Chains A and B, each alone.
Chain A
Amino acid sequence: MATATASIFLRDLFALVMLFGIFSLLTASFFLNLDAPDVAMTEAAIGAGISPILMLGTLALIRNRSAPRVKKTIRATMAPILAVTITGAALIYASFDMPYLADPQAPAHNHVAPRYIQQSLQEIGIPNAVTSVLASYRGYDTLGEVFVIFTAGIGVLALLGFMHNTSGRRYSQFADTASLDHHTILHVISKIAIPLILLFAFYVQFHGEYSPGGGFQAGVIFAVAFILYAMIYGLETVYKVVSMRLIRMTMVAGVLLYAGTGVASLFLGGNYLDYGTLAHEPVHGQHLGIILIELGVALCVASVMLSTFLCFAGRAAVRPDEMEEGDKPT
């Protein structure tokens, strides 16, 4: 709460980014306290990793480093206070009706959840019940999430991505201004660290069935490794490793893999996203289906994160008002 309060009063945007990172970390600890390690991992990775990086990318694009001052008319100050007070009061009033934290009578614990928890091991056969609920029992919802992420990726590409061709050759003149070439220690450390981070991403991906992990977290860690590479060696180098076309294709491939698994089960005689039809035995089919869709999720998440970062960074490398005569936005 202290971080949130401070976030309102500080005007320096950069400090706000730092405080946001701390806020996300604290939230991740709360999740851990409530015994939800999957969510905690995702919150830590995204809220304290990707979000500050992208916010810093935004800060690099805008000029002012402090939030603008609003003219203090009565209307300007009272209207937000009124809106927040009414909404806050309504929420607090609604929370009186909420059941206690571990109340066995609570609706969340009574209708489908016991069935999921009890039947998960027989029907799906993987130890991590969170993954089985996420990927199999609630597969539709997860498909929707993947589509949301994909749409966000397309949105960013549409808004920020048009200033380069697909192999990123545009940045050759500016790329070296944005790399950390002269920090030798950082170069050496990263050369050793990046493969290990990638390996860890694979571990989290494939271990999602046995311990907290899974596609979302693995995708984020994977993207973060490439972002580190881009930050230290420069944009031009990262485009040699993975071109924008490959990132876009991976984005699409991830979504297609997930949705395609559903269609395959349709063709094999079951319902959409009914993994039991994918193999000769329902439990094996569930395993196969979960592996495939987690892979799809990871591919989509990783490529969206990476392409978002590259769009921001690429924009920062070529600002419109600093272009010379021969350049024009394509």
Chain B
Amino acid sequence: MFLAVSVAIIVVLVLALVRAFLGPTLFDRILAVNMFGTKIVLLVAVLGVVSDQPSFVDIALVYALINFIAIIAVLRFFEYDRRTRERKGS
């Protein structure tokens, strides 16, 4: 049943959210956010198939791209931070 799959995805979402709260280091949190994003894409796709509207899958597509780019932005922030620290330190 689609309900079972949706429940499974929501369970994963909740667990990822808890990890995002707990995660002692930043990278745990980034990891959790990435997982959250992928699962939301899945959830939206399931919703789309259940309600038989292809337009929901468009939204899933948009979000898959956005998730990718947001995580790359986080990475660039780290790079910038590190280079700043290097420049200041040296």
Question: Do A and B touch (CB < 8 Å)?
Answer: yes
Interface residues, chain A, with chain B CB atoms under 8 Å away: 2-3, 6, 12, 14-15, 18-19, 21-22, 25, 28-29, 32-33, 37, 40-41, 44-45, 48-49, 52-53, 56, 59-60, 177-178, 180, 186, 193, 197, 200, 204, 207, 211-213, 217, 221, 224, 227-228, 231-232, 316, 322
A52 to B37 Cα, complex, angstroms: 13
A112 to B43 Cα, complex, angstroms: 34
CB within 8 Å for A29 and B43 given contacts A22-B33, A37-B53, A200-B65:
yes
Q: Counting CB contacts under 8 A, is B3 at the interface? A: no
Interface string of B56-78 (1 = CB under 8 A from A): 10110111011111101111110
- Would you mind naming 13 contact pairs between A and B with Cβ atoms under 8 Å apart? A18-B20, A18-B29, A22-B33, A28-B59, A28-B63, A45-B63, A56-B77, A178-B83, A211-B55, A221-B62, A221-B65, A231-B73, A231-B76
Q: Specify which chain A residues have a CB less than 8 angstroms from the CB of B77 in the assembled complex.
A: 56, 59-60
Q: Is the CB of A18 within 8 A of B33?
A: yes
Q: Is the CB of B87 within 8 A of A322?
A: yes
| Cβ distance A205 to chain B, nearest Cβ, rounded Å | 12
| Cβ distance A108 to chain B, nearest Cβ, rounded Å | 22
Interface residues, chain B, with chain A CB atoms under 8 Å away: 17, 20-21, 26, 29-30, 32-33, 36-37, 40, 43-44, 47, 53-56, 58-59, 61-63, 65-70, 72-77, 79-81, 83, 87
Instruction: Kindly report which residue of chain B lies nearest to residue A9, judged by CB atoms.
Output: B21
Instruction: Kindly report which residue of chain A lies nearest to residue B56, judged by CB atoms.
Output: A37
Q: Specify which chain A residues have a CB less than 8 angstroms from the CB of B21 in the assembled complex.
A: 2, 6
Q: With a 10 A CB-CB cut-off, give which of A186, A197, A231 has the most chain B CB atoms.
A: A231
CB within 8 Å for A228 and B72 given contacts A15-B26, A32-B47, A180-B79:
yes
Q: Specify which chain B residues have a CB less than 8 angstroms from the CB of A178 in the assembled complex.
A: 76, 79-80, 83
